[in-house]
Structure 1
Amino acid sequence: MKSQLLFALSACIATLCSCNSPVQPGRADFVLEHADIVYPDSICRDCNIAVIDGKIESIYPSSSDEKWVGKEYLNVRRQFVYPGFIDAHTHFMAYGLGKYKVDLTGTKSWEDVVRRTVQFAKDHPELTFIEGRGWDQNDWEDSSFPTNDSLNFHFPNIQVVLTRVDGHAVIVNDYALAQSNYIPGEEIEGGLVHAPNDKPTGVLIDNAINLLNLPPHSRAQQIEALLEAEKDCFKAGLTSVVEAGLPRESIELIDSLQQAGILKMQVYAMVSDSPEALDYYCERGPYKSDRLNVRSFKFYGDGALGSRGACLIHPYHDAPNERGFLLHDPEHFRSAAARLAKAGFQMNTHAIGDSANRLILDIYGKFCTPENDLRWRIEHAQVMDSSDFAYFNTYGIIPSVQPTHATSDMPWAENRLGPERIQYAYAYQRLLDEAGLLALGTDFPVEDISPIETFYAATIRKDGIGYPPEGFQMENAIGRVDALKGMTIWAAYACFEESEKGSIEAGKWADFTILDKNLLRIKSDKILSTKVLTTVVHGEVVYKMY
């Protein structure tokens, strides 16, 4: 698979540096002038791009005799123009809904979490329930899970649900637990309610979260959330996002907003795993519009490393009696894979632990070959057994990874895994060597929305303050060209969209991210200060800094 993929994409990219006009010049809807276009292996300096009906019609030197008359012009004055950045793994809707939740990112203690939640409730007396997100007990001096006593004191009569940063654990007050479907002593497949001495602490892990009964957000709130998320994405330079799991109702809402011209973000939507969704979409087949692509399903193989829900082959280094767990019986994944392969849908499965990765890769191997081009994906591929990397090449499987997970988790990941197993975690170069490509994303709101941070974490392997000085496991840092591809053409390929986006060439959508620096050439300590100047989607300026 690797050699075939590299040949196909190299052939595509080889055409990009040509500045020859494919047609006779005339009238264009939009002309981008005086751009330094950044290609993987060169720069087209001082070039113009003519756009008709949202697609690139011609790329040509500004000094040439070729002249296009545009309805609209944008002179970028030799700033650096990239293919529109694609985030290959996001929670777009959940990010937008964050405006209705207390922000718990960066909290330094459980007491800090409670203080913020109390203040949020005072600031929003209209809310009928309280949600929050972003706490991470690994950042606290006491890294054990908290108990909900203080929540019960402050909130005796309203549901409070505070979600861990990774979305795989929550802490709730007793009132929320009383409104839930929790039955003491009942075993939960793929989940856990912390209840030492049969007294729940309020901490719910993975599938146990599904026991909660929270009121849904209104349609108006969802629309406002989508538009807020779009605004932040455009400001960050994103022109397309992969939404990693939505129910049918949310996907249809996105489609209706796009069709009405209200929502302009391009979305590759994974359908959340459910029997009803499988029946509906497998019967009707994939759906595609100019801005929405629905041809994949999202599954959860296991939980997260930070909450010890990731399913490991051997016990956790810091918890010898725990190995995590699968979120479903293996037969669930096997039967779904058979249905999706038959119906022509892509299967994308969250797999963090080495045991979960092994299981899902083995199941994929029953259906995937490099020749049948299913392009099934492993989302995260975070902890691998050394013998399992070869599956990606053998079966043509795509690793979809989030580089900032590595730099966020590095302070405590070795404690979870031990010194030997950590060598095969966040192993992006090793995955790239096997698969021939990586689809890069952020997993926002788990991590920051910025693709610049993705690029920095993938190539430099340091956090925002330059730690560690030597970089984290630098043998698995990827090159800058590969990181750029992972945010553009490889991300598009992972969504079956490489013929319409992911590179700047005639016939593709006119999606551009315009920066003030050349990411392929600047010093590493200057990367994070890079500014997004302008974002263009389908030939329309959707964000401009100045």
Structure 2
Amino acid sequence: MRILFIILISFLLFSCAQKQQVDFIITNAEIYTSDDSLPKAQSIAVDKGKFVCVGTNEEILSAFNSDNIKDFSGKFIYPGLIDAHCHFIGYAKSLQYADLKKAASFQDVLEIISEHRKKYPSEWLVGRGWDQNKWSEKVFPDNAELNKIFPDIPVVLIRIDGHAALANQKALSITGINSSTKIQGGEIQKKNGNITGILLDKACDHIRSYIPNPTNTGMALLLKEAEKQCFAVGLTMLADAGLDASEIHLIDSLQKSGALKMKIYAMLNPTKENYTKYMDKGIYATPLLKIASVKLYADGALGSRGALLLAPYSDDIKNSGILVESTEALRETMQRADKAGYQVCTHAIGDSAVRLILKLYGEILKEKNDKRWRIEHSQVVHSNDIHKYGTFSIIPAVNTTHATSDMGWAENRLGAERIHTAYAYQNLLIQNNWLSNGSDFPIESINPIYGFHAAIARKDHEGNPENGFLPDNALTREQALKAMTVWAARACFMENEIGSIKKGMAADFVIFDRDIMKEAEKNVWQFQPLETFINGQNVMKK
């Protein structure tokens, strides 16, 4: 009997010795993996920042040991959420500006910026987030009141979409804009021959370039706060759509020092400095940063009537929008990027802009491929053109919250017929059987669950419209989850590193106490993650 006991103990000790020691194990969770080979699991083992096994409780516990075994009964785990198109640097900068998103009138705007000026006096007064479509009088304001209230300091108020701004006379004078100024790819609006202060697209970019940037120390603090807010909503990787070399250098240095943990896919602005420092040297990658793409612009935004349309705006019949860059300049940059092995990501919202970009991409790509060139937003696509996404393997990089933000006025811009070619996410998805979804923050909220809800419900947070906005183009829940996890990673050439819960992948994941895949559609937008992990490290816990 004693011999049998010794044999049994020896066997158990030998079995334990055969188990792999890992940093931690999670059991009894409901895990959505975004991995088609194993869509759902119950347990994960994590070691050295990676998933080493995904499976049932029995499979994990029979093969692995850990001093840190977490029982997550009643919890739901998803891959780390990815924003495939946003403006992280822009969002960080906006944290220092007057927040105009809640302004229900231009009078509200004036009150908000006046209060902001009292609290935070600075060289320039900058605000962001106003949207005339939310006001009773849905027209652009002029700068008459700004000139009276703020005659001696420059004021720039950036519209929600970032493609328009209202500037007072002081700001216009400092930046050299007058009634005879012409800016290619932009518009300086006038009334009775006088500048109103409204600047569109490249004209907006011109005046924004004069706004003083924070110091590197100040910018680092803003980025840390922005990162904290992103972690709080479950984001673990961001594709920042348009950065300069100095901004990339700051992000890279903060990541390497450990001050910044967010993963970034940086799209280069098309500048000579960016070409010299990055594109001409090939793809740049670190564990937290990847640079392999260039961001171009074809047109403006629908809300400010800068999106380039094939036919005039239904509510502005003398206007078809703005081509912000010449066709030849776009083609030249695309060819240079292709030669360097870089992905091209082009902003195109109107159906004329989309048609142009599809044509230019087609000239270079010629056939199906795996270069993953993207059309950012792909907001209005003529029915005769949509098949070209499949023909040339072009990724629709959509923003589902744009549909629910715009639905109150989009038909006024486009008309009853053309509206059915807009926000057509399901139609776009089937061209290649996948797409990516991003928020475009700070234009929209940073919360990716809002994008998930908009994708599946096509309704606002009050449940309107009752049957959804153009509901035939809603995504399924599985599609919506993949669009902000594995497909979003794929759109950034990172699907072998992040985007799914799978052996060998980085242990980026989020934990919820509610199931976004099953709970009532009307409630989903309210769900918040309890914890966020990057490379197996907890970066947020509520």
Are 2:281 and 1:287 equivalent residues in the alignment?
A: no
Aligned to 1:19: none
What's the CA shift for 1:281?
2.3
* Change beyond 3 A, Cα 1:342–1:121: same
Q: Is the 8 A contact 1:369 1:396 kept in 2?
A: no
Q: Is the 8 A contact 1:49 1:60 kept in 2?
A: yes
Supply the AA of the counterpart residue of 1:353. G
Aligned partner of 1:199 among 184, 187, 194: 194
Q: Is the 8 A contact 1:288 1:294 kept in 2?
A: yes
Supply the AA of the counterpart residue of 1:138. N
**Helix, strand or coil: the match of 1:203?**
strand
The range that moved more, 186-195 or 258-267, is 186-195
Q: Is the 8 A contact 2:20 2:64 kept in 1?
A: yes
* Change beyond 3 A, Cα 1:61–1:172: same
Is there any run of 5+ residues in structure 2 with no aligned partner, and where? 1-16
Are 2:34 and 1:37 equivalent residues in the alignment?
A: no
Q: CA RMSD in A?
A: 1.6
Aligned partner of 1:176 among 161, 171, 176: 171
What's the CA shift for 1:370?
5.6
Aligned partner of 2:410 among 413, 421, 439: 413
Q: Is the 8 A contact 1:491 1:502 kept in 2?
A: yes
Are 2:533 and 1:536 equivalent residues in the alignment?
A: yes
Is there any run of 5+ residues in structure 1 with no aligned partner, and where? 1-22
What's the CA shift for 1:183?
4.1
Distance 2:428 2:52 in 1: 36
Are 2:380 and 1:364 equivalent residues in the alignment?
A: no
* Change beyond 3 A, Cα 1:287–1:160: same
Aligned partner of 1:87 among 80, 83, 86: 83
Aligned to 2:9: none
Are 2:339 and 1:342 equivalent residues in the alignment?
A: yes
Aligned to 1:107: 103
Aligned length in residues: 521
Identity of aligned residues (%): 44
Deviations, residues 58-98 of structure 1 (Å, cap 9, x unaligned): 12422455253336454433301011111111111111112
The range that moved more, 517-526 or 89-98, is 517-526
Aligned to 1:238: 235
Are 2:492 and 1:498 equivalent residues in the alignment?
A: no
What's the CA shift for 1:43?
6.3
Deviations, residues 349-373 of structure 1 (Å, cap 9, x unaligned): 0000001000011111122256541
Are 2:519 and 1:525 equivalent residues in the alignment?
A: no
Deviations, residues 471-518 of structure 1 (Å, cap 9, x unaligned): 000111111111111011110110001111111110000010111222
What's the CA shift for 1:428?
0.3
Q: Is the 8 A contact 1:89 1:443 kept in 2?
A: yes
* Change beyond 3 A, Cα 1:24–1:400: farther
Aligned to 1:4: none
What's the CA shift for 1:249?
0.7
Aligned to 2:138: 143
Aligned partner of 1:158 among 148, 153, 161: 153
What's the CA shift for 1:236?
0.3
Supply the AA of the counterpart residue of 2:362. G
* Change beyond 3 A, Cα 1:74–1:260: farther
Distance 2:337 2:506 in 1: 29
Q: Is the 8 A contact 1:133 1:164 kept in 2?
A: yes
Aligned to 2:10: none
**Helix, strand or coil: the match of 2:45?**
strand
Aligned partner of 1:270 among 257, 267, 272: 267
Distance 1:145 1:228 in 2: 32
Aligned to 1:28: 22
The range that moved more, 458-467 or 184-193, is 184-193
Supply the AA of the counterpart residue of 1:99. L
Aligned to 2:181: 186
Distance 2:417 2:411 in 1: 9
Aligned to 2:462: 465
Larger Rg: 2
Are 2:405 and 1:398 equivalent residues in the alignment?
A: no
Aligned to 1:442: 439
* Change beyond 3 A, Cα 1:136–1:24: farther
What's the CA shift for 1:52?
1.8
Aligned to 1:7: none
Distance 1:490 1:60 in 2: 22
Distance 2:117 2:372 in 1: 45
Q: Is the 8 A contact 1:240 1:265 kept in 2?
A: yes
Are 2:37 and 1:66 equivalent residues in the alignment?
A: no
Supply the AA of the counterpart residue of 1:360. I
TM-score between both structures, scaled by the size of structure 2: 0.93
Aligned partner of 1:252 among 235, 240, 249: 249
**Helix, strand or coil: the match of 2:390?**
helix
Aligned to 1:475: 472
Deviations, residues 408-431 of structure 1 (Å, cap 9, x unaligned): 000100000001110000000110
* Change beyond 3 A, Cα 1:118–1:73: farther
* Change beyond 3 A, Cα 1:24–1:503: farther
* Change beyond 3 A, Cα 1:369–1:536: farther
